[in-house]
Amino acid sequence: MPIELPRLPYPHDALAPHISAATIELHHGRHHKAYVDKTNALVAGTALADRSLEQIIAATAGDGARAALFNNAAQAWNHTFYWKSMRPGGGGTPGGPLARKIEASFKSFDAFAESFKAAAVAQFGSGWAWLVLEGDKLRVTATANADTPIAHRQIPLLTIDVWEHAYYLDYKNARADYVNRFLDKLANWEFAATNLAVAERAQAAE
């Protein structure tokens, strides 16, 4: 089966006024769709034609001859994860096991937030900032262009897209304002907490 463009987990205008319906329509309906369509075109008739995005990424990471396929598949995967990393009425601070893990790894939520903001704002050009689980610790990391933590044995919990198409219509060149709004009003901590719980259960079963 071909890779499909996933439905958004909320209406186009659900994240307004922090991210406008116009941005969501352009970002999901054109940019994300283009990555999905290009991935399908590149795998058509190959041994990867029936593979998942995760399998395509694993098979092409670090392979310069298949960089175009990696870039499009990774961008398709990253975007799906990004939509889930936000929710209407999100942001603020998490609770429960995720909050305790953040405090153990960063000393405080505020320290985590500053690290996450710095990674997102300082990312040169296009890319992503992530909260990931690496071993038994949480880390903040940034990836350039289409790169993704799942190509580096890291488990992503939350991400923000800092390609200009993610925020320029709403924030122009004020990336820091977009990042602050993401953490304050949009971050889906329930999604991140679920990702952490699943990862820790998998680690315990190994």
Q: What is the mean pLDDT of residues 105-119?
A: 98
Checking if the pLDDT of 1 tops 80, the result is no
Global pTM value: 0.97
The whole-chain average pLDDT of the chain stands at: 97
What CA–CA distance (Å, rounded) separates 135 from 99? 17
**What pLDDT, on the 0 to 100 scale, is given for residue 47?**
95
Pairing of strands 127-134, 155-161: antiparallel
Task: Answer yes or no: same fold for 21-84 and 96-205.
Answer: no
Among residues of the chain, what percentage have pLDDT more than 90?
Answer: 99
Q: Which CATH number is 21-84 given?
A: 1.10.287.990
pLDDT above 80 for 139: yes
**In the chain, where are the structural domains located?**
21-84, 96-205
Q: Which residues does 74 contact at the CB level (< 8 Å), separation at least 6?
A: 57, 146, 147, 148, 151
